[in-house]
Amino acid sequence: AQTVTQSQPEMSVQEAETVTLSCTYDTSESDYYLFWYKQPPSRQMILVIRQEAYKQQNATENRFSVNFQKAAKSFSLKISDSQLGDAAMYFCAYLYNFNKFYFGSGTKLNVKP
């Protein structure tokens, strides 16, 4: 069965610093997709970044980048130059068979001014 684990329930970072959120997953599949979603206090789920498992190159979106280690089944999110607006819950998600998403339990990120 596919599972997604986020072992850090809460993290804090100083504004302008860098923080890394961890995510591991369990699968026997070779072709799948991974995502990071952000959920601010408004509750709106916002896609931050996605990674195709068949691509070795790590995805990057502006200040957000991932470290995808397929063999280790690890998919961490790095936020550079953290901003106050980055404070939110972050969910790691695994997509299998184009339809079924599995979400981790989330990491609450606090950004200190």
Interface residues with other proteins (CB under 8 A) are 33, 35, 37, 42-47, 50, 52, 91, 95, 98-106
Tell me whether residue 16 or residue 46 sits nearer to other proteins (CB atom): 46
Strands 33-39 and 60-61: unpaired
| CB of residue 67 to other proteins, shortest distance in Å | 19
Running DSSP on this structure, what letter comes out for residue 81?
Answer: S
Q: Please tell me the distance from the alpha carbon of residue 30 to that of residue 74, in angstroms, as a whole number.
A: 14
| CB of residue 69 to other proteins, shortest distance in Å | 20
| CB of residue 44 to other proteins, shortest distance in Å | 6
Where would I find the H helices in the chain?
none
Tell me whether residue 68 or residue 82 sits nearer to other proteins (CB atom): 68
Supply 39's token pair: 């959920």
Tell me whether residue 59 or residue 82 sits nearer to other proteins (CB atom): 59
In the block, residue with structure tokens 């997953």: 25
Tell me whether residue 82 or residue 91 sits nearer to other proteins (CB atom): 91
Running DSSP on this structure, what letter comes out for residue 59?
Answer: P
